[in-house]
Structure formats: structure tokens, C-alpha cells
């Protein structure tokens, strides 16, 4: 809503409430009983500002011509051609030391005798026993007492194999020695020696970039247009009358 329309609506409301002031003060129809009275007032229209995107300047196209770019380049020019001739190269020998096997390793076996120990064992030949012996004491009373005889044992010795004989392998490592050997390092051959050509450099024009033609598109220019739109129509409403003391 624009400022002018807001001011106009305010003046209209002030005029309405001002016109109804005598009625409220005088109490026409309701007189002194203003507690339940209402007055009919006019409600203004409601407006809202709306923004719209508009084209200020349309898109344009223009053609841009770029001239060619010409430079110079150094190019070689042959003065005399190159030539080649053959050179015979003799073979090359050398001495290297190799580690070779002189005597291979062997494996032999040796036997260890068994280990025997004497073990003594004791066993019971006749177990002990307890029997009752009856006799009379000096007062003539018969008394019975237990009498235990010790067991009869016997100790014998016997041979026990603690470690049986084994067959143990004995490894003899191989024997190596450094032996010099003559080897061919490089065989005989023919080497071609090339005598390069004699050249010189000259400046020659060259086209670095041809002429070009570009089409440049300028984008459109947009702006914002604002205008008021009525979003709600005014009407009439009832307002309660305030009591005056």
C-alpha cells in the first residue's frame, strides 16, 4: 500500500470515529447504558505492494573481427648433408670370480647306545597282622591285649631302559671356492660413426593465429516495477462503545 493511500485511509477512519463521537457521547438509542452498545464503522480496503521483473534493455548481438597474428620462426636450413662410415671394434674380455662348488655336502649317521639304569623296588612278601594275646596279671585278672607283627618285605633290583639307542645324522656342509673365469664382456662388431650435417638457422614468417570472427551476445537488462494490488475489500463492522465517566 502506498503512503498516500495509507494517509487517506487514516483520514477516513478519523472522520468516521469523529462523526460517531456525538452519538457515543449523547447516547442516542442507548443513552446512559453504554455497556452493551455497539457502533457501525466503515473498514478501508487493504492494499499490498507487488514487485514484477521487467526488461529494461533487450539482449543484443554484435560481431567482433580479430585480425590474424603473424610472427617469425627460426628454421634450420641444410648447408651440407651428413654422412656415416663403419669402424670395426674388437671384442672385449674380462675376468670374473665365481663361487663354485668344490666338494658337495654329505650326510652320515652315527648310533648312540641305549642308557640303562638299575631300579630297586620293594614289595610286601607277607603283610603284617594284629592278634589278641590273653594273660593274667598279678591280681589274677584275665587281660587281653592286641599284638601287631610287622610286615615282611623284600627289595629286588631290575634294569630299566631310560634312553633307547638313536641314529643321529651328521651333516657335512659343502665346500665352495672362488674360481676366476674369463668371460666375453663385449663381442666384436662394427660401429657406425655418423658425421652430422651442417645447418644454419633462418627467420621465416609463420601464421600464429588466423583471422577470427566472434559473435558477442550482450545479456538483457532487467528492472523491478512496483505497483499496489488490493488484497482485501473494505466493509462495515460493529465496534463496542466504551463507557465514559
What is 38-82 written as a DSSP string?
A: EEEEEEPPEEEEEEEEEEEE--EEEEEEE--EEEEEEEEEEEE--
pLDDT in tens, 119-159: 888 888 888 788 888 877 777 777 777 888 888 888 888 88
pLDDT in tens, 105-126: 899 888 888 888 888 888 888 8
pLDDT value of residue 18: 43
Average pLDDT over residues 18-39: 51
> Do 91 and 182 contact (CB within 8 A), yes or no?
no
Q: Residue 34: exposed, middle, or buried by beta-carbon count in 10 A (0-12, 13-18, 19+)? A: middle
Average pLDDT over residues 222-232: 86
Number of domains in the chain: 2
Query: Does residue 130 lie in a domain region?
Result: yes
pLDDT value of residue 4: 40
pTM of the prediction?
A: 0.25
pLDDT in tens, 169-205: 888 999 988 888 888 888 988 888 888 888 888 888 8
> Do 161 and 119 contact (CB within 8 A), yes or no?
no
* Exposure letters 91-119 (e unless 16+ CB within 10 A, then b): eeeeeeeeeeeeeeeeeeeeeeeeeeeee
Query: Does residue 191 lie in a domain region?
Result: no
Query: Does residue 229 lie in a domain region?
Result: yes
Q: Whose CA is closest to 189, among 103, 49, 86, 119?
A: 86
> CB within 8 A of 117, min separation 6: which ones?
159, 160, 162
Whether the per-residue pLDDT at 15 is higher than 70: the answer is: no
Query: Does residue 110 lie in a domain region?
Result: yes
Rounded Cα gap, residues 16 and 232, in angstroms: 20
Query: Does residue 140 lie in a domain region?
Result: yes
Domain containing 240 equals 1-59+219-245
Amino acid at each position: 500500500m502506498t503512503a498516500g493511500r495509507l494517509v487517506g485511509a487514516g483520514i477516513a477512519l478519523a472522520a468516521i470515529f469523529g462523526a460517531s463521537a456525538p452519538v457515543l457521547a449523547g447516547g442516542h438509542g442507548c443513552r446512559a447504558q453504554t455497556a452493551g452498545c455497539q457502533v457501525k464503522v466503515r473498514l478501508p480496503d487493504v492494499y499490498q505492494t507487488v514487485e514484477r521483473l521487467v526488461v529494461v534493455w533487450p539482449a543484443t548481438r554484435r560481431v567482433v573481427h580479430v585480425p590474424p597474428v603473424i610472427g617469425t620462426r627460426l628454421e634450420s636450413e641444410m648447408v651440407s648433408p651428413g654422412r656415416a662410415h663403419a669402424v670395426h671394434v674388437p671384442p672385449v674380455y674380462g675376468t670374473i670370480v665365481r663361487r663354485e662348488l668344490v666338494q658337495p655336502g654329505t650326510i652320515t649317521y652315527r648310533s648312540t647306545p641305549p642308557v640303562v639304569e638299575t631300579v630297586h623296588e620293594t614289595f610286601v612278601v607277607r603283610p603284617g597282622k594284629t592278634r589278641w594275646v590273653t594273660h593274667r596279671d598279678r591280681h589274677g585278672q584275665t587281660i587281653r591285649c592286641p599284638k601287631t607283627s610287622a610286615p615282611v618285605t623284600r627289595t629286588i633290583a631290575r634294569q630299566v631302559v631310560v634312553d633307547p639307542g638313536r641314529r643321529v645324522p651328521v651333516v657335512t656342509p659343502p665346500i665352495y671356492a672362488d674360481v676366476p673365469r674369463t668371460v666375453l664382456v663385449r663381442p666384436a662388431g662394427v660401429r657406425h660413426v655418423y658425421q652430422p650435417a651442417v645447418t644454419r638457422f633462418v627467420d621465416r614468417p609463420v601464421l600464429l593465429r588466423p583471422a577470427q570472427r566472434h559473435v558477442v551476445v550482450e545479456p538483457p537488462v532487467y528492472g523491478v516495477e512496483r505497483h499496489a494490488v488490493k488484497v482485501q475489500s473494505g466493509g462495515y463492522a460493529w465496534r463496542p462503545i466504551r463507557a465514559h465517566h
